[in-house]
């Protein structure tokens, strides 16, 4: 039986160039709150069959924090940890993708070709080219979207389809015309090859609550929160972009942030220096709580 935890709304601290209208009109990506960095994604840009927006593949956003020597990544999505059945997928199932991390100045596609990505594999039922769960270095990534039922030609076609069918395409912190992703190809969503460097751990809702995680100010309900931690020493310091998409590529979320060696004293200064170039946003209907399911 899944346990539901209700996390109450708290105040929001806005960093860099981001802006939040706390009266409830709009919330932009690039929010710092309780030492968590949040990158909101559009709530109507997922695709399932002929449906656009609010589908079982919808991603509400991603989040990141550093605490007690750990770097913690959270994904707020309609999909459960085990994925979902799909008659469109070759194996009858769409699993969650891996979290791909780009610390370079190259695009994800170029960094992947050079084997310069890093990645976190936290589910063992996706179609990655590696078996063990964990943190990987020297990563070459691949897309398995076509194998999992996506009939659109590439990322650009996916965004166009969402827009033509009344949705608002977004990728969290990254604009849909970003040079960080090659829109003429399918989204990279799992590890193809890489070097295993360390273990990762899944966090339950109680652990997240203790860490101050609070997606509630986005006013969304009915989403699963999946969180994974990795030793911060495995990640280099500096700006990175994290990219996540389920195997089908039917929604895409990204965040851009700065990993620091001393997060408690430098996170806010780092965010201000970075400037929060991400500007993804969505409209929230009212202040409410977000259901964290585990």
With H, G, I as helix, E, B as strand and everything else as coil, classify residue 130.
Answer: coil
Is the pLDDT score of 277 beyond 70?
no
Q: Report the candidate in 161, 206, 150, 144 with the shortest Cα–Cα distance to residue 45.
A: 161
Segment 193-249, tens digit of pLDDT: 999 999 999 999 999 999 999 988 767 778 999 999 999 999 999 999 999 999 999
Q: What is the mean pLDDT of residues 143-151?
A: 96
Is the pLDDT score of 134 beyond 90?
yes
Strand order in the sheet with 99-102: 190-198, 134-142, 117-121, 99-102, 238-244, 253-259
The two structure tokens encoding residue 274: 């970075």
Q: Report the candidate in 203, 231, 36 with the shortest Cα–Cα distance to residue 118.
A: 231
Is the pLDDT score of 292 beyond 80?
no
Beta carbons of 206 and 292 less than 8 angstroms apart:
no
Tell me the domain boundaries of the chain: 4-293
């Amino acid at each position: 039986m899944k346990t539901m935890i209700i996390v109450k709304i708290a105040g929001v601290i806005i960093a860099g160039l981001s802006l939040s209208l706390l009266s409830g009109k709009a919330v932009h990506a690039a929010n710092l709150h309780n030492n968590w960095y949040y990158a909101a994604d559009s709530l109507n840009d997922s695709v399932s069959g002929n449906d656009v927006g609010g589908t079982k593949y919808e991603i509400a956003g991603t989040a990141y924090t550093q605490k007690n020597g750990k770097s913690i990544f959270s994904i707020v999505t309609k999909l459960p940890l085990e994925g979902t059945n799909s008659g469109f997928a070759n194996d009858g199932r769409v699993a969650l993708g891996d979290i791909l991390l780009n610390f370079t100045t190259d695009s994800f596609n170029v960094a992947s070709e050079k084997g310069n990505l890093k990645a976190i594999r936290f589910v063992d039922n996706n179609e990655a080219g590696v078996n063990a769960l964990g943190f990987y270095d020297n990563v070459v990534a691949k897309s398995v979207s076509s194998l999992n039922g996506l009939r659109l030609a590439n990322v650009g076609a996916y965004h166009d389809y969402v827009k033509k069918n009344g949705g608002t395409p977004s990728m969290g912190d990254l604009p849909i015309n970003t040079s960080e992703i090659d829109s003429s190809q399918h989204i990279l969503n799992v590890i193809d090859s890489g070097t295993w460097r360390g273990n990762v751990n899944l966090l339950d809702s109680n652990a997240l609550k203790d860490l101050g995680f609070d997606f509630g100010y986005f006013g969304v309900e009915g989403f699963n929160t999946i969180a994974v931690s990795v030793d911060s020493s495995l990640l280099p310091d500096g700006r990175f972009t994290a990219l996540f998409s389920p195997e089908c590529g039917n929604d895409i979320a990204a965040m851009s942030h700065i990993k620091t060696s001393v997060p408690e004293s430098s996170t806010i200064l780092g965010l201000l220096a970075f400037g929060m170039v991400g500007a993804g946003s969505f409209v929230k209907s009212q202040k409410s709580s977000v259901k964290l399911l585990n």
